[in-house]
Structure 1
Amino acid sequence: MQWFGAASEYAVDACQRVLLYGDIRRQRGNQYRTHLQERAPNVLNFAGELVMSGLDLPRPVNYGLVRILPAEGVPTDPAKRPFVIVDPRAGHGPGIGGFKPDSEIGAALQEGHPCYFVGFLPDPVPGQSVEDVMHAEAAFLRKVAALHPDSIGKPAVIGNCQAGWQVLMTAAVWPELFGPIILAGTPLSYWAGDNPMRYGGGLTGGSWLTALTSDLGAGRFDGAWLVQNFENLDPANTLWKKQYDLYAKVDTEGPRYLGFEKYWGGHVFLDGGEMQTIVDDLFIGNKLATAELSTSDGVRIDLRNVRSPIIVFCSYGDNITPPAQALGWITDLYRDDEDVVGHDQTIVFATHDSIGHLGIFVSGSVGRKEHRQFAAHIDIIDLMPAGIYRAEVADRVPGETVNGADDSSYLMKIRRSGVEEVRGIVKPDPASERRFAAAARVSEINLALYRNLLQPWVRAWATPHSARMMEMFHPLRVGYETWSDRHPWAGIVAAAAENARENRRPVSADNPFLQVQEQISDGIEQSLDAWRDQRDALYARTFDAIYSAPAMQALAGQSTNDTTPVRPHPGDTPEHRAFMAAQMSRLDEEMAQGGLVEAMIRALCVVFLARGEADGRHFDHAWELSRPQLQPTPGQPSRFADFRRLIRHQALLVRRDGAAALAQIPHLLRDVPARSAREAAAVIADLARRGGPLAEHEQASLQQVLALFSQGAERSAPKPRSRRKAPSRTSKGKRSPSPASG
């Protein structure tokens, strides 16, 4: 009887769950159809107003700039730098950067920053290109800067996934428009890493399939195919786990599921030529990370031209943009740390252990943790000197205050890193690059064959009507279209589900049949994961076998015995070597230039560089001291840019040659009054100790700096005058001659 009761309880619960599950899926279909009828569909969780439309630009695009309206009780500070969040156009609609209250937009608003969002319409402007979008993003940033003339700094820009490389390309051409740039889950080095997506182009013969898809779409590329590729990466989640989780948690999971499906089902389109450029030049050609791209007017797109700090946030749990693809551009562009310093570039990278690709933008825990800390310390990061750094957001020690309050649970730590540490993550593989170079050459050949032999026939056959029919019958859309209120059985299921809610009888957690259900689900998921792993391994082996063959290597103009790199390294050109030599020579000449302010900043750089690591408390102390001098006042602009230039330059000199930079401190104090030099030394000692007790090597650096200031004070102190002895008078009242008068 006990087993019968358990079976009966489970059967009732299962029947009710089926009805509730079906009803939520019905709501998903209704939501999908309503979403598509909107002129500018998005999933933003924040109210906004259109500030600028890309359709009105000289080179029109389907992008737009929206001002985010802060919620009541969360005012923005006009003196703080604005944030601009750019969402990815990679198959889905816009809004993922503001999908939840705890998001990139939410983090910026919580810190009091004015916030803007760059989204897009579902349909591209016919003929729009990647370069047109770059021009639009530059125009948007000029508009934001004009709206915030009293801002302490230039706009901070967050680029999510595909938007990240688009933003970085724009910053390489117009570096003067950008403040700090945050790249979240952005692929930049497309041949690196070990994710299965990188093999797709080679296994399908290259980008001819992209051209065919665009031609069948009457000049538009359907973003649903990109979403399909994402879903194929994780069949366990696509085919089972996502649906099972909804069924197993049907009483509570509905709102979250519908919210995500609104984004996941909001498919958008790209112009065929635009998509072809992306696939040929980036995904297969991998030309961005080695500065091989140029604009239509001949401007080279070189990421080394970016003058803003670049913050790279990636995750080891991301199977779309693993850390190697997010960071590989650094080793592609820079041979060593001197290369980074010579180009005056600041790069901060942070890795997450497990979060997935969408979790980087969607997860509330990431929004509360990493994105909140990036926003809180964005101004200090903008002041950091050239070099590579690694950031970590750690849990705050209980009882320890941050920002003078107890409302933050996390503490950001930043330590010095370098090209070698990044190289250890990326693990560049010349043999693998040779195979990808062969695949790129095969892609060019197949694309040329398609364009000459098949494309005229396909374009003659394809019409807007046939393209619309193909879109309707795309496998992803069919699931949304077939089950909604338009289905004849929808009303019956909705009524039965409502009755089930009113008479809900959930099964107990210890029911043996429920436990068997969980075990079966785990088994299905593990089986699908195992199949995925076998499939991905097969992809890799097949790709390697095909493109390691001598015939394929020959197509790429390579010899199997050739060991020369297949991609030119930008740092190997004579022009680059001459540039670096000139930069280093200029820095050596500037060691002896400056005065008291330069000497103080140089001294602090020496002490803090000796520390090697700083956390949020050090940032807070530095910012509290700096802010009064940098905060703009009515009628006076912020001095942040000048202050930033001064700090970065002195730190650059210290990084170049610390001993030489220190040795020049007494020379910098040559015209400074001794009292001012001593007061400056006291300020340096106070600042150095504010971040906590100094380590032994830090204390040694501080004492060395203070000794140099003391030496400078002694040099500048006025020499005491020697008093002459009064001349004696003769008996006749005349002065005797001085020794000098003879």
Structure 2
Amino acid sequence: MFYWNPWLDLYAKQVKFFVRLMKQPEPYWSTPNEVSLEKDTLRLRYFPNKHKKLGKPILVLPPQAGHHSNITDYSSNQSLVNTFHKYGFDVYVAQWLSPNYKHKNFDISDYIRLTNDAVHNISSRTGHDSIHLVGQCQGGWQAAMYASLFPQKISSLVVAAAPINLEAERGPLNDFIDNLPMSFYESLVASGFGLLKGDHMLAGFKNMDPHKHYYKKYIDLWNLIWLEDENGLERFDRFTNWYELTQDLPGKFYLEVVEKIFKNNGMVNPGTIELNDKIEAKDKCVDLTKIDCPVILMAGEKDNITPPNQCLDMKNHISTPKKDIIEITTKGGHIGTLMGKSALKNHWTTVSKTLANIA
């Protein structure tokens, strides 16, 4: 006689879901788009607004921290692209591609060059000589750097959860980077034969909170399986797909960022970061005082990757009038500030409304 065992049923469900998790993560976009430009490690994606349009488009620079750029369009109900669409904007997103070995010597200048190529492409398509520029996390210092070098091309600047002044408020990442010599980071690049492997960055982020990533994560998963929470499992699956889909970085670029931005705090020390002839700017020294456009600074109250003041202190290093600087602090952490439902509904909506009133 066969006796039904509920534990076997639960075990079967658990195995079934873990098989789903074991599949290779795949990149995806949630909103229809087209490729406007592809060059080197940049694929510029255009998300047309089919309903209503304002004048100047938005270019989003996502983080370059080992993850896929679709954080800007994470899901149909959790998308920065869709938030901007609701307020009439055409949106462009710089999808940063994983480099191959021919790109291993790409540096900061190359990424500013590619950003300039994206801006030029958008201007050519739209006829606008300036755009709204939005930078998230590592894309935030990149956006600020670009705006300081090409201020005439930027109508407004949004910097979210970005490390700008590393000494304004120290966090775990400060100590981690400061306590290790450059030779350590050079060895990481050497192990990737000139590339910084995305798996190394992912391990570093996980090790900043090992309890969360190596223990609590699986307790939460077990509870979702036990409760047969299909919606929760779908969210878990989606986030795991994004978080575990790692991308590499050119080794030279990575080492420059570590040394010039994180160790020498170069974003707020004019003269520390001087770019080369790969870019067209007359003055190739990064100097935030050259930024005078309207600026929105956004930080997460619980952000342990980029503590709030590292981003918000940028207001003290730019020439934008105080009345044209908006500071926003979310209740979330790092990722929640960039693409959490609450941040998108409340804080990024504020950003959208503000940009809509800027000529």
**Fold match by TM threshold 0.5:** yes
1:231 aligned partner, one-letter code = K
Counterpart of 1:119 in structure 2 is: 95
Residues 105-144 of structure 1: pairs in structure 2 closer than 5 A: 105-124=81-100, 125-144=103-122
State which of 21, 32, 56 in structure 2 corresponds to 1:47. 32
Confirm or deny that 1:190 pairs with 2:175: no
Confirm or deny that 1:301 pairs with 2:280: no
Higher strand share: 2
Aligned partners of 1:43 and 1:262 also within 8 Å: no
Q: How far off its partner does 1:340 sit?
A: 5.7
Aligned partners of 1:84 and 1:157 also within 8 Å: yes
Runs of 4+ off more than 4 Å: none
State which of 156, 165, 168 in structure 1 corresponds to 2:141. 165
State which of 242, 264, 271 in structure 1 corresponds to 2:250. 271
Change (3 A) 1:22 1:194: farther
- Greater C-alpha radius of gyration: 1
2:245 aligned partner, one-letter code = G
SS of aligned partner of 2:75: coil
Deviations 1:665-707 (A, max 9, x none): xxxxxxxxxxxxxxxxxxxxxxxxxxxxxxxxxxxxxxxxxxx
Counterpart of 1:369 in structure 2 is: 346
Aligned partners of 1:43 and 1:94 also within 8 Å: no
Aligned partners of 2:28 and 2:70 also within 8 Å: yes
Runs of 5+ in structure 1 lacking a partner? 1-7, 36-41, 56-61, 383-639, 641-742
Residues 99-248 of structure 1: pairs in structure 2 closer than 5 A: 99-101=74-76, 102-124=78-100, 125-149=103-127, 154-204=130-180, 206-248=181-223
1:365 aligned partner, one-letter code = S
- Cα distance between partner residues in 2 of 1:207 and 1:43: 35
Deviations 1:620-675 (A, max 9, x none): xxxxxxxxxxxxxxxxxxxx4xxxxxxxxxxxxxxxxxxxxxxxxxxxxxxxxxxx
- Cα distance between partner residues in 2 of 1:97 and 1:373: 17
- Cα distance between partner residues in 1 of 2:315 and 2:131: 24
Counterpart of 1:701 in structure 2 is: none
SS of aligned partner of 1:95: helix
Counterpart of 1:23 in structure 2 is: 16
Higher helix share: 1
Q: How far off its partner does 1:126 sit?
A: 3.2
1:207 aligned partner, one-letter code = M
SS of aligned partner of 2:196: strand
TM-score (norm 1): 0.44
SS of aligned partner of 1:260: helix
- Cα distance between partner residues in 1 of 2:176 and 2:110: 27
1:293 aligned partner, one-letter code = I
- Cα distance between partner residues in 2 of 1:319 and 1:83: 28
2:234 aligned partner, one-letter code = P
Change (3 A) 1:16 1:319: farther
Counterpart of 1:313 in structure 2 is: 298
Counterpart of 2:312 in structure 1 is: 327
Aligned partners of 1:359 and 1:366 also within 8 Å: yes
Aligned partners of 2:169 and 2:309 also within 8 Å: yes
TM-score (norm 2): 0.89
Counterpart of 1:76 in structure 2 is: 52
State which of 49, 63, 67 in structure 1 corresponds to 2:46. 67
Change (3 A) 1:93 1:309: same
- Cα distance between partner residues in 2 of 1:254 and 1:97: 21
Q: How far off its partner does 1:54 sit?
A: 2.1
Change (3 A) 1:66 1:326: same
Confirm or deny that 1:283 pairs with 2:283: no
2:243 aligned partner, one-letter code = W
- Cα distance between partner residues in 1 of 2:320 and 2:117: 29
Deviations 1:89-112 (A, max 9, x none): 111121101102332111111112
Percent of residue pairs identical? 19
Confirm or deny that 1:360 pairs with 2:350: no
Aligned partners of 1:76 and 1:112 also within 8 Å: yes
Runs of 5+ in structure 2 lacking a partner? 278-282
Q: How far off its partner does 1:235 sit?
A: 2.1
1:20 aligned partner, one-letter code = K
Residues 88-99 of structure 1: pairs in structure 2 closer than 5 A: 88-99=63-74
Task: Report how many aligned residue pairs link the two structures.
Answer: 344
Q: How far off its partner does 1:308 sit?
A: 2.0
Aligned partners of 1:157 and 1:180 also within 8 Å: yes
Q: How far off its partner does 1:15 sit?
A: 4.4
RMSD of equivalent CA atoms: 2.3
Residues 707-726 of structure 1: pairs in structure 2 closer than 5 A: none
Q: How far off its partner does 1:256 sit?
A: 0.8
Deviations 1:691-732 (A, max 9, x none): xxxxxxxxxxxxxxxxxxxxxxxxxxxxxxxxxxxxxxxxxx
Aligned partners of 2:149 and 2:284 also within 8 Å: yes
2:60 aligned partner, one-letter code = I
Residues 589-668 of structure 1: pairs in structure 2 closer than 5 A: 640=359
Change (3 A) 1:52 1:15: same
Aligned partners of 1:50 and 1:64 also within 8 Å: yes
- Cα distance between partner residues in 2 of 1:345 and 1:207: 41
Change (3 A) 1:21 1:191: farther
Aligned partners of 1:87 and 1:159 also within 8 Å: yes
Counterpart of 2:239 in structure 1 is: 260
Counterpart of 1:350 in structure 2 is: 328
- Cα distance between partner residues in 2 of 1:157 and 1:242: 35
Instruction: Answer 1 or 2: higher relative contact order, Cα 8 Å, separation at least 6.
Output: 2
- Cα distance between partner residues in 2 of 1:207 and 1:46: 41
Q: How far off its partner does 1:43 sit?
A: 3.7
- Cα distance between partner residues in 1 of 2:260 and 2:238: 34
Deviations 1:226-269 (A, max 9, x none): 12121122222112222222211222222111111111111111
Aligned partners of 1:46 and 1:69 also within 8 Å: no
Q: How far off its partner does 1:69 sit?
A: 4.1
